[in-house]
Amino acid sequence: MTAVAVLFVFGFVGNTTVFAATNPALGTAGTYGVLSSTFTSNGASTAITGDLGYTTVSGVYTVTGSSNHPAPSQADTDAGLARADIDSQACTSLGTNVVLSGTYTPGCYSSSGTMNIVLGTTVTLNGAGTYIFKAGGAITTGANSIVKLENGASSCDVFWKPNGDTTLGANSAFIGTVLPVAQDIYVGDTVNWIGRALTFGHVVTTDGNDIINSTCTTGATVSTGGNVAQGIINVVKTVVNDNGGIKKILDFPLFINGTTVFSGMLNSFPASSDLYTITERSNPNYTRTFSGDCDSNGKLHLDPNDNKVCVITNDDIGAPVAVVPVPPLIDVIKIPSPLALPAGPGPVTYTYTLRNTGTVPVTDITMIGDTCSPIKLISGDTNKDSKLDVSETWKYTCSTTLTKTHTNTVTTTGWANGISAVDVTSATVVVGVSTVPPLIHVTKVSSPRALSVGGGDVEYTYTVTNPGTAPLSNVTILDDKCDSLPGRVVGHPGDLNKNNILESNESWGFVCKSRITKTTTNTATASGSANGMTAKDYAIATVVVAAPKLPNTGLANDFGQQVRTIANSLGKGSRGSNVTVLQEFLISQNKGPAAKALADVGSTTYFGEMTRAALAEFQTSVGISPALGNFGSITRGYLKNN
């Protein structure tokens, strides 16, 4: 049994007594990423970190642990004991048919009915300790919703026990172990789930590119009890599918010094002279480049009170397409009202104005705010087609209560032609003083937006404005991949009164030209100061360059060079780094549907049926006979001679 402790939850629950909780022992069930009777992986591959238990299985998936068929009954027994432990713990009632939002501290929370997280909402688990969420009905999360960890909260300490089906919405991020009473679990397209699906005797269904990770991940520290200065890192992902790729943002899990983070969500780390390194789970079918505040290797320094943005762009590798796709381009201005709360804590409403500054309609718009949710669309989609047309301006609002001075950041993402566009904008509201903080905004437009093979000259046009009320001094404009911008701006012709101060009625324009030879995402940064504070804004744009025509064999590429070094024979059941080299080579050749299916899964260290089929497809295409999909002396000889 669990002792009762009094905690105070800031956010959804308010000043409510919260019962403390303890982790249930999972026993042998704890090694499983998925424990089920029927496991179905629809669409593209599901990657499971941990063990897989099932009676029947279908679809494409990878497993880092053991596949147990059928799953041992002891795992079911242990999962049942964990559910009983959860049932024995006293919980704070949130009501009936509860909608979760905001911030929760450790404890046990319950609903006598369903428990939901609605579309686009962020739920933050704040602080080290156990989190239990018990629902008398189903648990459902909306598309693009996020459950995130902060201040030492760990994915291994989060548990969900529904008495109904669990459904995780598409393109969402979810944390914790789900232990249904006796129901199914449905995971939508491109869900990043750090936790476990434990429903022995029932169904687990995933739908393409899902990631279920049973390892423990701890949330970054947002504040400390001592005097350790903090800084903010926002890792932003863009994906370019200009050669037939289908990957999405959540297909590339992101990490800062090994800590899992999510695209567009702010992460606070101690300021340090040491470098922070941004990494991801890479895919051999996509290149990776960095822009923004990190260097070309994804590294950055973090000084006290820094707010840095690191942009990672993944561009698919493949045969050239007939028509070069035009990338989307979006722009967001955010204005809080009021900008200052001199009398102390109070309500603030943020207004977001979203424009399409490109030439193609943009779909699948998402807005992720670090401290205000939900962000609601109130107007702009005039034809009700859920597409941000070139002629439309969409307006959103979000309201919250601030108790201290705070900088709120929103990351907006949209898609067109298989390519994502992103914009990051921030605004500060001061609490307890009458000082008005500054605001700055930069818009960037590239011309042209798409180039043929070999690339060419691109002209970037920047417009810097002041959407606030405080005049801005020390205005700077920089671009990480176009170096002819002035930096510190002096004597700009748009400075109407010639005082080197950007007033709210002024607009300062800049042009920078660059020659690019490959698909490039670059980040412009504008900053300005007023009243002892500095405002910063980012503008991110992608220009697509057509891929060159691949040679008939492609054996001269890096993968071709590597595959020639394999000296031993390989076949179904083989494991090791040589298998990975062979798989990457077959994916790079892109000879047909078997190679495409292998590309959707990505390279592993295991030679299975998909690898055999892709190898047989390659052998057929180059005239190797018999094309059985074994990597033996005949195939090795062909590769050495071609």
pLDDT in tens, 368-399: 887 787 889 999 999 999 999 998 999 999 99
Q: Residue 170: its pLDDT value, please?
A: 81
Residue 572 CA to residue 29 CA, distance in Å, equals 30
C-alpha triplet 599, 602, 607: angle, nearest 5°: 100
Do 352 and 277 belong together in one domain? no
The answer, yes or no, to whether residue 433 has pLDDT greater than 50, is yes
Q: Which residues of 385-406 are buried (b: 16+ CB within 10 A; e: fewer)?
A: eebbbeebebebbbebebeebb
| Lowest-confidence region among 74-78, 276-280, 377-381 | 276-280
- Residue 397, strand partner residues: 351, 376
One-letter amino acid at 265 equals M
Of the candidates 298, 319, 340, which is a domain's last residue? 319
| Lowest-confidence region among 78-82, 84-88, 595-599 | 595-599
78: left (phi over 0), alpha (psi -120 to 50) or beta: alpha
| Lowest-confidence region among 45-59, 170-184, 218-232 | 218-232
Of the candidates 149, 179, 213, which is a domain's last residue? 213
Q: What is the DSSP letter of 616?
A: H
Do 446 and 574 belong together in one domain? no
Do 631 and 489 belong together in one domain? no
**pLDDT band for position 227 (cuts 50, 70, 90):** low
Residue 611 CA to residue 331 CA, distance in Å, equals 43
**Token reading at 241:** 């599918």
The answer, yes or no, to whether residue 219 has pLDDT greater than 80, is no
Q: Residue 10: its pLDDT value, please?
A: 32
* 539 contacts: CB under 8 Å, gap ≥ 6: 331, 423, 442, 443, 444, 462, 523, 524, 526
One-letter amino acid at 179 equals L
> Is the residue at 424 inside a domain?
yes
**Token reading at 218:** 């701890």
> Is the residue at 590 inside a domain?
yes
The answer, yes or no, to whether residue 214 has pLDDT greater than 60, is no
Most confident of 223-237, 342-356, 560-574, 606-620: 342-356
Domain with 600 in it: what CATH number? 1.10.101.10
Do 375 and 432 belong together in one domain? yes
Query: What's the domain range around 301?
Result: 225-319
Helix 593-601 and helix 577-589, axial crossing angle in degrees, nearest 10: 130
Q: What are phi and psi of 522, to 5 degrees?
A: -125, 160
Segment 174-192 shows an average pLDDT of: 90
> Is the residue at 134 inside a domain?
yes
Q: Residue 38: its pLDDT value, please?
A: 93
Q: Are 348 and 337 in contact (CB under 8 A)?
A: yes
Residue 52 CA to residue 221 CA, distance in Å, equals 32
Segment 103-131 shows an average pLDDT of: 91
Percent of the chain with pLDDT over 70: 91
Angstrom CA distances, 370 to 102, 165, 193, 236, stand at: 10, 29, 19, 13
| Lowest-confidence region among 332-346, 406-420, 541-555 | 541-555
Helix spans in 543-608 (H): 558-563, 577-589, 593-601
Do 191 and 303 belong together in one domain? no
Q: Residue 152: its pLDDT value, please?
A: 77
Q: Are 195 and 158 in contact (CB under 8 A)?
A: yes
Angstrom CA distances, 587 to 62, 120, 480, 506, stand at: 17, 35, 32, 52
Residue 307 CA to residue 220 CA, distance in Å, equals 15
Of the candidates 293, 319, 345, which is a domain's last residue? 319
Do 331 and 308 belong together in one domain? no
**Token reading at 88:** 């024995």
Q: What are phi and psi of 378, to 5 degrees?
A: -110, -20
**pLDDT band for position 12 (cuts 50, 70, 90):** very low
Query: Residue 88 belongs to what H/E stretch?
Result: helix 73-88
Most confident of 99-113, 119-133, 224-238: 99-113
Do 69 and 195 belong together in one domain? yes
| Lowest-confidence region among 286-290, 292-296, 546-550, 611-615 | 546-550
Do 313 and 338 belong together in one domain? no
* 182 half-sphere exposure, CB direction, 13 A CA radius: 0
Domain count for the chain, please give it.
Answer: 4
> Is the residue at 1 inside a domain?
no
The answer, yes or no, to whether residue 9 has pLDDT greater than 70, is no
Q: Residue 383: its pLDDT value, please?
A: 92
The answer, yes or no, to whether residue 224 has pLDDT greater than 80, is no
Residue with tokens 């238990």: 53
> Is the residue at 15 inside a domain?
no
Do 310 and 343 belong together in one domain? no
Segment 61-78 shows an average pLDDT of: 89
Is this model's pTM higher than 0.95 or not?
Answer: no
Domain with 306 in it: what CATH number? 2.60.40
Q: Residue 373: its pLDDT value, please?
A: 77
Which has more pLDDT, 228 or 431? Answer: 431
Do 472 and 328 belong together in one domain? yes
Q: Residue 6: its pLDDT value, please?
A: 30
Q: What is the DSSP letter of 472?
A: B
Chain-centroid distance, C-alpha 71: 32
- For the chain, give the mean pLDDT: 87
**pLDDT band for position 56 (cuts 50, 70, 90):** very high
* Other beta carbons less than 10 A from residue 344's beta carbon: 11
Do 616 and 580 belong together in one domain? yes
Contacts 24+ apart (CB under 8 A), 603-608: 603/284, 604/62, 604/579, 604/580, 605/575, 605/576, 605/577, 605/579, 605/580, 606/62, 606/574, 606/575, 606/579, 607/570, 607/571, 607/572, 607/573, 607/574, 607/575, 607/579, 607/582, 608/572
> Is the residue at 455 inside a domain?
yes
> Is the residue at 219 inside a domain?
no
Residue 238 CA to residue 418 CA, distance in Å, equals 11
Q: What is the DSSP letter of 125?
A: E
Which has more pLDDT, 319 or 403? Answer: 403
Segment 461-483 shows an average pLDDT of: 95
Percent of the chain with pLDDT over 90: 54
> Is the residue at 582 inside a domain?
yes
Query: Residue 131 belongs to what H/E stretch?
Result: strand 131-135
Which has more pLDDT, 598 or 290? Answer: 290
Do 300 and 349 belong together in one domain? no
The answer, yes or no, to whether residue 599 has pLDDT greater than 80, is no
Segment 149-158 shows an average pLDDT of: 85
